[in-house]
């Protein structure tokens, strides 16, 4: 069952770097017969991998193919006599997988490992033999894609195999590249399986492999896998979509004429561009039909415009929006803000004079290669520039071609890969805390179902400076991503400088400051699970709640006991007004203390109310034309002040604050504790200080109480 584009010939033209025009389609039966005959000469490549060599040389003209010949000879001899359920010799499977990768532009090491990827699993070949013959790099990749023994793991074999592959992918993404190509060829030949087994394999492909292909940016594999899964799991919708495409094939397609109009516009603007009509694949047609209802001719494809430089992409965009009527809601700039899977393009759409709407993708040729092949197009991402230069120099000194030397690091040492995507780092972290295969399997599917990635910045400037999270993540997820299990004591967060609750969702580009309690008994509450999206956070919270069944309820209880409120306004204290016999009062709105700069105003009854000069009441009085009265402080040091403390609710908070105030030798005249709102509590204290100079130290002592995030003058 084929899941090519709606027009396979057109797809071939839209992807010139993956399939040369005129290349014959791979005939597995003919290759099977050639494989059984073996190589005709030790000095030339076997005929059976001629297609692989041709596709590989199209991307790597100087590649040394001798290692491929040796890998094929070992694979063919070890698989000789084995047959696939479809009836072909087994060697046709690694050949087909290798051809898929070769057409995507994989480098020689990947193709070598691909030819050998089933030898250790299904034959007598050992990893030591692979290492001795082909080196550590190939051995590591082959080991990464080799399944664990079912006899050892039983029903857990499949999840444990994926765990092993993902851990290996963390050190070398080429492991997953081979797995994706392997699954694609198996899906192409799935028709010989029982329907129930087809459905089981298709569901795993849908839930795990397709999301992984999306995250690694291998769109060429992802789209075909989607179509194959669609045909198996949704046969009725698939047949309906096939009928829509077949009906469209007999109608006039408006896109070629629109493409020609675009070519004329760009040619007149002096922009060198290649304009192609790119048919939609089956799943894409199905999705757009559900979105728009009745489809028009232009809905069955999109225009793909390839240019040389990034600036040309925006030049094309300007011409399209100038000469046609743009559909503003369809514009997306994935060049300035790339997707988390390396994808870069400009997306737009415009309406023609006859009412057709054409969707357009604009990208450079390099962007196109990465968009189609993803991590496969990166070659060996672990070879440093220095190592590559050294390998090239060594090859030149020995008379070899520059492309024949590949720099390899030791695959058994953990690699520091700055290009490793955030989702993969998160996955590698949380899988260590999920020893149960069922938990790992279910959480993995939930993690891969997240189809959007955001990046937030740490306000403390620590390393790393950014945190990658799935779309919809909350401050709780950020806390566990940054602090691990220490996030159990997180009591709040500031997002973009503003205080917010831990349950608040984060957006791409937010700056996050997480506030931790110093109390070792602090822990998460059960409702955190409702707002945690990352597996690491959910596993850590669940583990803590399970270990502290009685502590969860206590941590959710906020301080609620209000104390009796005593008027915050006191007498004049040590403030003296320059009015004989006037009664002086310190304003309750700002409670000035020495040595604050103050101003007084006469109120009803002849009393003078003293405010700090920064108080809003002073500006209001002066705007009304009220004349201020000069006020000075007596030499005595004692004073009265009102402080506001803002904190997160937790047990014993009021007692701890009162104790901190008492340690500073300060008398509490009155206090008010408001009921908590969104886990935040506001305290108001009127205090009698023996010495005004001790006010800064008092405020610092109150801020040091766990849970208190701000203390200010009233």
Give the CA radius of gyration of the chain.
Answer: 35
Contacts 24+ apart (CB under 8 A), 38-46: 38/73, 38/76, 38/77, 39/69, 39/72, 39/73, 44/69, 45/69, 45/72, 46/72, 46/73, 46/76
Structure tokens at 620: 């209001």
Closest CA to 630 of 597, 599, 606: 599
- Say how many C-beta atoms besides its own lie within 10 A of residue 653's C-beta: 22
Give the three-class secondary structure for 594: coil
DSSP secondary structure letters along 53-90: HHHHHHH-TT--THHHHHHHHHHHHHHTT-B-TTSSBT
What element of type H or E holds 225?
helix 219-233
What element of type H or E holds 50?
helix 50-59
Q: How far apart are CA 690 and CA 2, in angstroms?
A: 87
Cα dist from 60 to 405, 469, 631, whole Å = 12, 36, 86
Catalytic residue status for 224? no
Hey, which bits of 617-658 come out as E strands?
631-633, 639-648
Q: Is the dihedral of CA 530, 532, 536, 537 positive or negative?
A: negative
Structure tokens at 686: 């009127």
Classify residue 123 by its DSSP letter.
S
What element of type H or E holds 273?
none
Cα dist from 140 to 109, 136, 169, whole Å = 11, 6, 10
Phi-psi category of residue 342: left, alpha or beta, with phi > 0 → left and psi -120 to 50 → alpha: left
Pairing of strands 301-307, 631-633: unpaired
Catalytic residue status for 122? yes
Task: Give the CB-side neighbour count of residue 256, counting CA atoms within 13 A.
Answer: 4
Catalytic member of 27, 121, 330, 527: 121
Catalytic member of 47, 54, 64, 122: 122
Active site residues: 121-122
């Amino acid at each position: 069952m084929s899941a090519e584009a709606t027009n396979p010939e057109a797809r071939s033209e839209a992807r010139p770097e993956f399939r040369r025009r005129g290349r014959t389609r791979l005939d597995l039966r003919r290759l099977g017969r050639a494989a059984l005959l073996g190589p005709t000469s030790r000095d030339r490549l076997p005929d059976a991998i001629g297609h692989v060599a041709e596709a590989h040389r199209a991307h790597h003209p100087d590649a040394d193919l001798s290692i491929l010949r040796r890998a094929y000879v070992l694979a063919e001899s070890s698989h000789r006599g084995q047959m696939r359920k479809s009836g072909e010799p087994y060697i046709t499977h690694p050949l087909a997988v290798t051809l898929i990768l070769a057409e995507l532009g994989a480098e020689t090491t990947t193709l070598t490992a691909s030819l050998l990827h089933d030898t250790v699993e299904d034959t007598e070949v050992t990893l030591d033999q692979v290492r001795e013959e082909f080196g550590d790099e190939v051995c590591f990749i082959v080991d990464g894609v080799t399944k664990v023994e079912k006899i050892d793991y039983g029903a857990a074999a499949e999840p444990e195999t994926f765990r092993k592959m993902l851990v290996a992918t963390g050190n070398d993404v080429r492991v997953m590249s081979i797995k994706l190509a392997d699954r694609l060829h198996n899906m192409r030949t799935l028709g010989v399986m029982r329907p129930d087994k087809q459905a089981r394999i298709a569901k795993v492909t849908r839930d795990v492999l397709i999301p992984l292909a999306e995250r690694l940016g291998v769109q060429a594999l992802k789209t075909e896998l989607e179509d194959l899964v669609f045909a198996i799991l949704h046969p009725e919708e698939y047949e309906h979509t096939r009928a829509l495409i077949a009906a469209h094939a007999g109608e006039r397609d408006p896109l070629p004429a629109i493409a020609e109009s675009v070519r004329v516009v760009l040619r007149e603007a002096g922009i060198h561009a290649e304009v192609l009509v790119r048919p939609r694949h089956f799943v894409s047609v199905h999705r757009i039909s559900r979105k728009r209802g009745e489809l028009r001719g232009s809905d069955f494809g999109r225009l793909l415009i390839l240019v040389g430089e990034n600036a040309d992409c925006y030049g094309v965009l300007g011409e399209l929006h100038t000469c046609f009527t743009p559909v503003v809601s369809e514009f997306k700039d994935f060049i300035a803000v790339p997707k988390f899977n390396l994808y870069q393009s400009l997306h737009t759409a415009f309406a023609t004079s006859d009412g057709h709407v054409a969707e357009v993708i604009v990208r450079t040729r390099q962007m196109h290669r990465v968009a189609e092949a993803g991590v496969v197009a990166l070659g060996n991402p672990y070879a440093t520039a220095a190592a590559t230069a050294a390998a090239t120099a060594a090859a030149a000194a020995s008379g070899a071609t520059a492309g024949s030397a590949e720099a390899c690091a030791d695959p058994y040492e953990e690699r520091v890969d700055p290009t490793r995507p955030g989702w993969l780092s998160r996955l590698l972290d949380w899988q260590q805390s999920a020893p149960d295969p069922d938990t790992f399997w279910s959480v993995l599917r939930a993690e891969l179902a997240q189809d959007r990635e955001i990046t937030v910045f740490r306000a403390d400037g620590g390393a790393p400076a950014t945190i990658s999270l799935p779309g919809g993540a909350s401050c709780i997820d950020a806390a566990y991503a940054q602090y691990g299990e220490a996030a159990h004591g997180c009591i709040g967060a500031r997002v973009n400088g503003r205080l917010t609750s831990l349950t608040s969702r984060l957006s791409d580009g937010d700056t996050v400051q997480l506030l931790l309690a110093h109390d070792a008994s602090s822990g998460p509450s059960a409702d955190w699970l409702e707002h945690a999206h990352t597996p690491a956070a959910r596993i850590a919270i669940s583990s803590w709640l399970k270990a502290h069944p009685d502590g969860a309820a206590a941590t959710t209880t906020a301080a609620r006991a209000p104390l009796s409120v005593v008027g915050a306004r006191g007498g004049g204290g040590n403030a003296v007004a320059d009015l004989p016999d006037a009664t002086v009062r310190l304003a309750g709105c700002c409670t000035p203390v020495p040595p604050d700069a103050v101003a007084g105003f006469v109120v009803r009854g002849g009393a003078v109310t003293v405010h700090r000069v920064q108080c809003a009441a002073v500006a209001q009085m002066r705007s009304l034309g009220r004349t201020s009265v000069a006020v000075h402080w007596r030499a005595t040091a004692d004073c009265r002040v009102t402080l506001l403390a803002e904190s997160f609710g937790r047990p014993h908070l009021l007692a701890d604050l009162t104790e901190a105030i008492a340690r500073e030798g300060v008398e509490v005249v009155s206090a008010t504790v408001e009921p908590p709102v969104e886990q935040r509590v506001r305290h108001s204290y009127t205090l009698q200080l023996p010495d005004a100079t001790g006010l800064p130290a008092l405020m610092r002592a109150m801020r040091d109480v766990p849970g208190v995030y701000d203390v200010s003058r009233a």
